C-alpha cells in the first residue's frame, strides 16, 4: 500500500513517546530474572528464584498463585460472556424494537455510561452484604457485569444501527422468524463488534482492582490484582523482585491478547457509538 | 394470483397516509404504482407484503383473506430498492435462504437455485459474495431470491433507482421478461413514468394517498382523467394554456385554433388546454405565434420552447434537421383533434 505521506516521521515520534514505557518494561522483565546489585543499572547473575511462586507451596496466609489466577480467569471470562450476551440482546431491542419507554432506557444508558460508578460502591457493598454475596466471586461478577453493561450496550447499539433494516425485512419476507433473522442475518453483521466487546470486557475484568478489593477482600475470592496489592502491603518481608515477577505474570495475558487481537479491538472505535 | 385491496386505510399516528384505497391486480398482471414522492406508494407496497399493518380495509390474495397474516405466511417475494442482499453469504446461500428456512432438502435446494440462476442469467456468479457484484448483477440476485420459492406475488420497490442509465434500460426489459416468463403477478413501485409505461400492463397513478387513475399506459397517456395525470405522463411534458371560447374557436394568448368536433358544445367559456409537444408545430399549419426561447438538441429530435406574447410557453418536439433557431419568431399550428381540455379545477372535459 502506498500512502500519501511519509510514514517514518510518524514512527520516529511514536517511538520517542513510547520509549520510556518500553525501557521500564524491559527493566522489569530483566529484573525478574536477575539479582540486582544496589546502585548499579546492569544486573549481575541470572536466576529464576523470583518466579518460584509459580511452583512452590504458598507461604502461610497466602493463596496459591494458581488458585488466584483461576479466580481471575473465571471472574474476567464470566463477566465478558455475561456482558456480551446481555449487550447483544438489549442493544438489539434498543436499536430495532419500538417498545414503551424506549427513550427513557436510551437516556438512562447514556447517563450510566458517563456516570462515575465508583461513587456507588458503598451502596453496592451494603446490597451485597444484605444478599449474602459479600466476599464471594459471584457477587463481584454480578457487580462488574452490571457496571460494564451500559458501555457494552451502547457499543453494540452502534453496530446494530449500521445494519440496514431492509436486510431484516427481506429475511422476514423470505419466511424466517424474527429470531432466525436476528441469529442468521443480523448477528453476522455485528460480529466484529461482538468479538471486540468480548475481548474488551475480558481485559477490563482481568484488570479490575477496586471492586474485588472492596467487595471480596477474603482469600477465597482473591484475584491477581488484589493478590498483588496484598503482596506489597505485607511489610513484614518486602520482596520487590517477587512483586515484579507477579506483576509480569499478571501482565502477560493482557499483552498476548492485545498482540493477537489488536485488529479486532480497533473495531470498537471504528464501527460503534454512532448515536 | 389476483390481489385485491378494499378500502385500505393507513395512518401513522395522526397522519392519514392512505385513505380508503381500492386496487385490484389481475392474476399474471404487472401493475405500476406511479406517483410523486410521498404519495404513499411504498406504504401501499409494504402493506401488501405485511411489513405495515392496515388500519382499515382488507387484502385478498385470490380467495384468501391475508389482511391479518404475518409476512412470513403471505408468500410474497419482495425486491428492495437497495436489494438487501445478505452480505456475509455467498450468492448461492443468498438465493437458497428462503428454501433453507422452509427446511427443504439439500438436493432440491441446489436444483431450484440452479434453475432460478439460469432464469435471471447469473449461473456463473453463484460462488461470489454480494460485494463482488455490480449493481445490475445484485439486482438479478435480489430477483432470484424473491422468486426462488415461487411466491404468489412479486413486489418491487423502485428496483431501478440505484442503477445508471444504461443498466436501467437493460434491467427494465429483463425484469419484464422474467415476469412474463414466470407469469407471476407483480407490482412495481416507481416515480419514473417511463419505467411504468414501458414495463407494466396497467398503471395506477397515485396522488396524496389516492389512486387518481388506473389504466393501460397508452390509454392513460391519450385519455388522462384530469390535469394532474396529463401533466405527470409524457416526456417532455404537456403544456397547459389558458383559453376562452368564442364561437367555434379557442382564443389563446396569441392566436386561435378551431374547437374540435368531439369538444364542440361541451366546453365552458373559460378553460385550460393541454397541448402535448408532438401536437404543436409547423406541420399543423399556423395561427399560434410566438418566439423560440429555448432549444434542446436530443439527437433524433429537437425540443423547442415557444413563448407566446402573454408569456405562456408551449413545448414542441420536432425531428432534427430543421432550421429553427433560438430567438426566431414562428407561427405554428396545433393538432386540434388531440387537444385536451380541462375545467378551471383541473377536471377533464
Ligand atoms: N413510519 C412512518 N411514520 C410516519 N410517517 C410515515 C412513515 N412512513 C411513511 N410516512 C409518510 O407517509 C407518506 C407516504 O410515504 P411513502 O414512503 O409511502 O411515500 P412514497 O410514495 O413511497 O414516496 P417516495 O417516492 O419518496 O418513496 C409520506 O408523507 C411519509 O412522510
Ligand atoms: Mg418509497
The pLDDT of residue A42 is above 80: no
- Is residue A39 located within the same domain as residue A112? no
Residue extents of the structural domains in chain B: 3-229, 239-342
Q: Which ligand is nearest to the CA of B17?
A: 1
In a domain, A1, yes or no: no
Judged against a pLDDT cut of 70, whether residue A59 lies above it is answered with: yes
Distance from residue B190's CA to the centre of ligand 2 (Å): 8
Low-confidence ranges of chain B (pLDDT < 50): none
| Residues of the domain holding A18 | 8-53
Q: Please say if the pLDDT value at position A40 is more than 80.
A: no
What's residue A26's pLDDT? 87
Q: Do A33 and A72 fall within a single domain? A: no
Is there a domain that residue A259 lies in?
yes
From residue B19, alpha-carbon distances to B164, B188, B203 in Å are: 35, 20, 19
Number of domains in chain A: 2
CATH number of the domain bearing residue A174: 1.10.3720.10
Which of B78, B81, B102 is facing A173, going by the closest CB pair? B78
Is A49 found in the same domain as A71? no
φ/ψ bin of A251: left (φ > 0), alpha (ψ from -120 to 50), beta (otherwise): alpha
Q: Please give the pLDDT value at position B268.
A: 83
Q: Quickly state the pLDDT bin for A268 (edges 50, 70, 90).
A: low
Nearest chain B alpha carbon to A167: B84
The residue whose CA has the least distance to atom 24 of ligand 1 is B37
The CA–CA distances, whole Å, from A203 to A72, A268, B164, B324 equal 11, 14, 48, 79
- If asked whether residues A39 and A92 sit together in one domain, one would say no
Atom from ligand 1 closest to the CA of residue B209: 14
Cis peptide before B236, with omega less than 30 degrees from 0?
yes
Cell of A32: 525478574
- Same domain for A159 and A232, yes or no, is yes
CB contact under 8 Å between A166 and B84, yes or no, is yes
In this prediction, residue A69 carries a pLDDT of: 93
Instruction: Label residue A272 by pLDDT band (50, 70, 90).
Output: very low
| Higher-pLDDT residue of B212, A264 | B212
B146 neighbourhood in chain A, CB within 8 Å: 173
Q: Are residues A24 and A107 in the same domain?
A: no
Give the tens place of pLDDT for each residue, B223-272: 999 999 999 998 889 999 888 888 788 888 777 788 887 877 777 888 88
- Residue A68 domain-assigned? yes
| Helix H or strand E segment including B270 | strand B270-275
A98 touches chain B (CB under 8 A): no
Phi and psi dihedrals of B19, rounded to 5? Answer: -120, 105
* pLDDT band at residue A60 using 50, 70 and 90 as cut-offs: low
Distance B39 CA to ligand 1 centre (A): 7
Q: Which residue has the higher pLDDT, A238 or B223?
A: B223
A120 and A82 within one domain: yes
CA–CA gap between residue B116 and residue A257 (Å, rounded):
46
**Domain B3-229 grouped into CATH 3.40.50.300:** yes
Q: Which of A183, A184, A179, A198 is nearest to A268 (CA)?
A: A198
Question: DSSP H helical segments within B183-273, as ranges?
Answer: 193-199, 217-222, 227-232
* A61 phi/psi in degrees, rounded to 5: 90, -10
pLDDT band at A273 (very low <50, low <70, confident <90, very high): very low
Give tens-digit pLDDT for A124-177. Answer: 999 999 999 898 899 999 999 999 999 999 999 999 999 999 999 999 999 999
Is residue A19 located within the same domain as residue A86?
A: no
Which tens digit of pLDDT belongs to each residue from B15-62? 999 999 999 999 999 999 999 999 999 999 999 999 999 999 999 999
At which residue does the C-alpha cell 378494499 appear?
A: B6
Question: Residues whose CB is under 5 A from ligand 2 (ion)?
Answer: B 42
Q: Note the CATH architecture for domain B239-342.
A: Beta Barrel (2.40)
Could you tell me what percent of chain A has a pLDDT over 90?
44
DSSP codes, A199-220: HHHHHHHHT--HHHHHH--SST
**Is A275 inside a domain boundary?**
no
Amino acid A270: pLDDT:
57
Q: From ligand 2's centre to the CA of B274, what distance in Å?
A: 29
Mark whether A136 and A167 lie in a shared domain.
yes
Residue A96 contacts B, CB cutoff 8 Å: no
Residue A223 lies in a domain: yes
Amino acid at each position: 500500500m502506498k500512502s500519501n505521506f511519509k510514514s517514518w516521521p510518524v514512527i520516529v515520534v511514536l517511538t520517542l513517546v513510547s520509549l520510556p514505557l518500553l525501557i521500564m518494561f524491559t527493566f522489569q522483565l530483566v529484573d525478574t530474572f536477575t539479582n540486582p546489585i544496589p546502585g548499579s543499572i546492569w544486573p549481575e547473575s541470572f536466576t529464576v528464584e523470583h518466579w518460584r511462586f509459580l511452583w512452590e507451596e504458598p507461604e502461610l496466609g497466602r493463596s496459591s498463585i494458581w488458585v488466584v489466577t483461576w479466580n481471575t480467569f473465571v471472574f474476567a471470562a464470566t463477566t465478558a460472556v455475561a456482558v456480551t450476551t446481555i449487550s447483544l440482546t438489549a442493544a438489539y431491542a434498543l436499536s430495532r424494537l419500538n417498545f414503551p419507554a424506549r427513550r427513557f432506557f436510551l437516556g438512562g444508558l447514556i447517563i450510566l455510561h458517563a456516570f462515575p460508578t465508583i461513587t456507588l460502591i458503598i451502596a453496592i457493598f451494603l446490597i451485597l452484604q444484605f444478599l449474602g454475596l459479600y466476599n464471594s466471586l459471584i457477587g463481584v461478577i454480578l457487580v462488574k457485569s452490571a457496571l460494564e453493561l451500559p458501555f457494552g450496550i451502547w457499543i453494540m447499539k452502534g453496530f446494530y444501527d449500521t445494519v440496514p433494516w431492509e436486510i431484516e425485512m427481506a429475511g422476514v419476507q423470505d419466511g424466517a422468524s424474527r429470531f432466525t433473522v436476528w441469529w442468521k442475518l443480523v448477528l453476522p453483521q455485528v460480529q466484529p463488534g461482538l468479538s471486540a466487546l468480548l475481548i474488551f470486557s475480558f481485559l477490563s475484568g482481568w484488570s479490575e482492582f477496586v471492586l474485588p478489593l472492596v467487595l471480596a477482600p477474603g482469600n477465597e475470592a482473591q484475584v491477581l490484582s488484589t493478590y498483588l496489592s496484598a503482596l506489597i502491603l505485607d511489610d513484614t518481608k518486602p520482596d520487590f523482585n517477587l512483586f515484579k515477577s507477579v506483576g509480569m505474570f499478571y501482565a502477560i495475558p493482557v499483552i498476548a491478547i492485545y498482540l493477537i487481537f489488536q485488529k479486532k479491538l480497533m473495531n470498537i472505535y471504528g464501527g460503534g457509538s454512532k448515536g | 394470483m389476483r390481489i385485491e385491496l378494499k378500502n385500505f386505510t393507513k395512518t401513522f399516528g395522526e397522519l392519514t397516509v392512505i385513505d380508503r384505497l381500492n386496487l385490484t391486480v389481475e392474476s399474471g398482471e404487472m401493475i405500476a404504482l406511479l406517483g410523486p414522492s410521498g404519495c404513499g406508494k411504498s406504504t401501499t407496497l409494504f402493506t401488501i407484503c405485511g411489513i405495515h399493518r392496515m388500519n382499515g380495509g382488507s387484502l385478498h390474495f385470490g380467495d384468501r383473506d391475508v389482511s391479518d397474516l404475518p409476512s412470513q405466511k403471505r408468500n410474497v417475494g419482495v425486491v428492495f430498492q437497495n436489494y438487501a442482499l445478505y452480505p456475509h453469504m455467498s450468492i448461492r446461500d443468498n438465493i437458497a435462504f428462503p428454501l433453507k428456512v422452509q427446511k427443504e432438502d439439500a438436493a432440491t435446494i441446489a436444483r431450484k437455485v440452479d434453475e432460478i440462476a439460469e432464469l435471471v442469467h447469473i449461473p456463473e456468479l453463484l460462488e461470489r459474495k454480494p460485494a463482488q457484484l455490480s449493481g445490475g448483477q445484485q439486482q438479478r440476485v435480489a430477483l432470484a431470491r424473491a422468486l426462488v420459492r415461487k411466491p404468489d406475488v412479486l413486489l418491487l420497490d423502485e428496483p431501478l433507482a440505484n442503477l445508471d442509465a444504461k443498466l436501467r434500460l437493460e434491467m427494465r426489459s429483463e425484469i419484464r421478461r422474467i415476469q412474463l416468463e414466470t407469469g407471476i403477478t407483480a407490482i412495481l413501485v416507481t416515480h419514473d413514468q417511463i419505467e411504468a409505461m414501458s414495463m407494466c400492463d396497467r398503471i395506477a397513478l397515485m396522488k396524496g394517498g389516492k389512486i387518481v387513475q388506473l389504466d393501460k399506459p397508452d390509454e392513460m397517456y391519450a385519455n388522462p382523467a384530469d390535469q394532474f395525470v396529463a401533466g405527470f405522463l409524457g416526456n417532455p411534458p404537456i403544456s397547459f394554456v389558458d383559453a376562452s371560447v368564442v364561437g367555434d374557436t379557442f382564443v389563446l394568448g396569441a392566436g386561435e385554433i378551431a374547437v374540435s368536433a368531439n369538444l364542440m358544445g361541451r366546453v365552458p367559456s373559460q378553460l385550460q388546454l393541454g397541448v402535448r409537444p408532438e401536437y404543436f408545430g409547423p406541420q399543423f399549419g399556423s395561427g399560434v405565434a410566438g418566439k423560440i426561447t429555448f432549444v434542446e438538441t436530443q439527437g433524433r429530435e429537437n425540443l423547442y420552447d415557444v413563448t407566446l406574447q402573454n408569456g405562456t410557453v408551449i413545448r414542441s418536439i420536432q425531428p432534427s434537421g430543421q432550421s429553427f433557431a433560438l430567438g426566431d419568431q414562428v407561427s405554428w399550428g396545433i393538432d386540434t383533434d388531440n387537444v385536451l381540455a380541462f375545467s378551471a379545477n383541473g377536471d377533464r372535459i
